[in-house]
Structure 1
């Protein structure tokens, strides 16, 4: 049996890809978008405009013993089509899990959005024993897409 290393969810949002991307590419919007309940606020984060950028989020979760920060390293950027980043505890290099948002226009006012949470690149055995992947459930990813839809239509 193959071990699962990613979860993807898809939803059509009644907004243009440009409008959806505008919401996604501003880190401060992820407080409202996040369906996991981990994201509390943005510590530092300009609008994402290219790969190589980094934004820092204030987080909370029992898996980390309460409040903590993450640095999110932008690994994929294609305006109005793709946004991806790898997350790491603040001040460290990413251990391998990645969030990927793919936008496919379905017309001028409709966009199919695919959100993938991928931990296939995590190779640190100690981390794999400590963290029980997936940390975020499929239903929470679906909540993120629902929240994105609401934010894109406001």
Structure 2
């Protein structure tokens, strides 16, 4: 596969500011994800600045420990148009190390009560040594679309 990112787009029946507020709230991420991998936010504060770190408790059956934690670093924050983060982990010495993959949501208002949301998962910066033990993308092609449908349900109150 030459392409090193995947995207999905969905029109969400909510204003961009409301969609952005949900995405900037780490406590909603497990419901948006829908795979069962994202368990819960460790830091529950809203995402408000580039460089902010927020950790998530995770679970994956193929992970050596099953349960693990990721440290995400906000990379893009342009309310209410774009939000994105790099995913990594905290090493034993407290140093944060990022694997080279990122999540980004781009929001385009289509009117006062609709927003086109594009979700991009990009792994173009993943070094070869990580690619040797993690296949990218690490989920099926339906995952991004499913996540956007979950987001739509959350912002519409359903």
TM-score when normalising by structure 2 = 0.92
> Aligned residues, how many?
152
Whose helix fraction is larger, Structure 1's or Structure 2's? 1
Q: Following TM superposition, by how much is the alpha carbon of 1:48 offset from its aligned partner in structure 2, in angstroms?
A: 0.6
Determine the C-alpha separation between the residues in 2 that align with 1:17 and 1:137: 27
SS, match of residue 105 in structure 2:
strand
Q: 2:134 aligns with which of 131, 140, 143?
A: 131
Where structure 1 has 5 or more consecutive residues not aligned to the other structure, the ranges are: none
Q: Following TM superposition, by how much is the alpha carbon of 1:140 offset from its aligned partner in structure 2, in angstroms?
A: 1.2
1:29 corresponds in structure 2 to 28
SS, match of residue 36 in structure 2:
coil
SS, match of residue 101 in structure 1:
strand
Over the residues paired in the alignment, what is the CA RMSD in angstroms? 1.1
Determine the C-alpha separation between the residues in 2 that align with 1:12 and 1:90: 35
Asked whether the equivalents of residues 9 and 138 of structure 1 are also in contact (C-alpha less than 8 Å), the reply is no
Residues 7-86 of structure 1: pairs in structure 2 closer than 5 A: 7-65=6-64, 66-86=66-86
Where structure 2 has 5 or more consecutive residues not aligned to the other structure, the ranges are: none
Corresponding position: 1:113 with 2:117? yes
